[in-house]
Structure 1
Amino acid sequence: MNTSETGRVNTRNAMLILIIVSTALLRILNVGKFGDWANFTPIGATALFAGTYFRNRWAAYFTPLLTLFISDIIVNYGYYGKITLFYEGIVYVYIAFALMVFVGSLIKKVTTLRVFGATIASVLIHWIVTNFGVWISGQIYPLNAQGFTDCYIKAIPFEKNLLLGNLAYGIILYGGFEWAKKHFPLLAVPHELSISKPNYK
């Protein structure tokens, strides 16, 4: 990689980090309020976004997961009034978000259909993985078939909100960055410069 390409990648990475951090700040706007829109946040969309656009795999996983960790601390402080670094089920939550990054990395060319499919897949992953963690802990639901079923069914409203959040913020993130690449070629990595403009149909 020559100096020009290195500068291009560094500029792109800096912009991606800025976008992810700035977008994640929206998560803390309603700290302390559960409400009907709990889980309607940009954090899932940022995981997909990072997986798609970071060429460096370490950055793709580290950036959204660190952002999630920091915002978790702020959100938990808003709810419980104390600093909480780790909480029950955190391992399952972070596994789910790491898998979301992986799903995002499978998008090699951005189209509306591919982003929509990745959004659906990411929500299903979150639903399956995180709620398994809730159920297996045995603290809320009994460790039997009925408890397992209840755990997953009662989580559906929260996953619906996650889906809506991923779709809304996904449109902003993917659409915005594709627009930016078109108007500011410095944000495109070399192989993307040879790809015709994205098909959003």
Structure 2
Amino acid sequence: MFYLMILAVAASRFLPHPPNVACVAALGLFAGSYMSGRRAYLVPIGVMALSDIMGQMLGIPGLGFYNLAAMAMVYLGMAASVPIGRMLRNAGGTSRLWKVPAASVAASTVFFVVSNFGTILAGWYPMSVAGFTACYINAIPFYGFTVAGDLCFSAVIFSAYALSQSRFRLPVLAKA
């Protein structure tokens, strides 16, 4: 199931969309919640790598490898959604009504902080208080897109899985 989701989400990065609206972090949250072991980290990293390799080969703007420091931080920011998904899985109680959106906003925020630090490391802003301030202020509109996309895609992925479990009696994914 996760392999199909990786392919679908990787393909979705090629569709027209607003900047920073992607379902990679939502899939990372889902993988963290439902996959066991370290292989959950391969889900968001696999999506990013697959789509970036194809984007690089096809010369698609916005996809591909543009700066090692920036890309490393983008990948790290996406992978950070997995431990947030693990916290979501381990949270007590039965209702996920507010927990999934909260985890989604947390993943968006971590990605915002980490990926923008990557732009500073890449040399696009000076390593100074003024540079940090300018970087994070300029990125605020992108943060809004990230939050909106992550909230929507998290709702779709988690709801679709819950519905498919109850409707079609699919086996529960590993939670160990």
Trace 1:78-89 onto structure 2 (pairs within 5 A): 78-79=60-61, 84=65, 87-89=68-70
User: Which amino acid in structure 2 is aligned with residue 114 of structure 1?
Assistant: K
Q: Match of 1:106, SS?
A: helix
Letter in 1 for 2:165: K
Q: How far is the alpha carbon of 1:184 from its aligned partner?
A: 2.8
Cα gap change, 1:21/1:112 in structure 2, threshold over 3 Å: closer, same or farther? Answer: farther
TM-score, scaled to structure 1: 0.75
Matching of residue 140 in structure 1 with residue 121 in structure 2: no
| 2-structure distance, mates of 1:80, 1:178 | 33
Aligned to 1:116: 101
Alignment root-mean-square deviation, CA: 2.4
**Equivalent of residue 61 in structure 1, options 18, 37, 41:** 41
* Aligned amino acid, residue 112 of structure 2: W
Q: CA deviation at 1:189?
A: 4.6
Task: Indicate how the Cα distance of structure 1 residues 58 and 29 shifts in structure 2: closer, same or farther if over 3 A, else same.
Answer: same
**Residue pairs, 1:1-150, within 5 angstroms:** 15-30=1-16, 37-54=18-35, 56-76=36-56, 77-79=59-61, 84=65, 87-108=68-89, 111-137=96-122, 139-150=123-134
Q: Is the 8 A contact 2:164 2:170 kept in 1?
A: no
SS in 2 for 1:143: coil
Could you tell which deviates more after superposition, 99-108 or 70-79?
Answer: 70-79
Which one has the largest radius of gyration?
Answer: 1
Distance 1:42 1:98 in 2: 13
Distance in 1 of aligned mates of 2:50 and 2:105? 25
2:146 maps to 162
Does the aligned pair in 1 maintain the 2:112–2:143 contact within 8 Å?
yes
| AA at the equivalent of 1:27 | R
Paired positions, count: 169
TM-score, normalising length: structure 2: 0.85
CA distance in 1, matches of 2:125, 2:67: 21
Q: Runs of at least 4 residues of structure 1 off by over 6 A?
A: none
Aligned-residue identity in percent:
28
Question: What is the aligned partner in structure 1 of residue 155 from structure 2?
Answer: 171
Is the CA contact (8 Å cut-off) linking 2:9 and 2:47 kept in structure 1? no
Q: In 2, Cα distance between the equivalents of 1:99 and 1:105?
A: 10
In structure 1, list runs of 5 or more residues that go unmatched: 1-14, 192-201
**In structure 2, C-alpha distance between the alignment counterparts of 1:93 and 1:51, rounded to whole Å:** 18
Letter in 2 for 1:17: Y
Contact 2:10 2:50 in 1 (8 A): no
Secondary structure (helix, strand or coil) at the match of 2:20 reads coil
Gaps of at least 5 residues in structure 2 are none
- CA pair 181-65 structure 1, distance change in 2 beyond 3 A: same
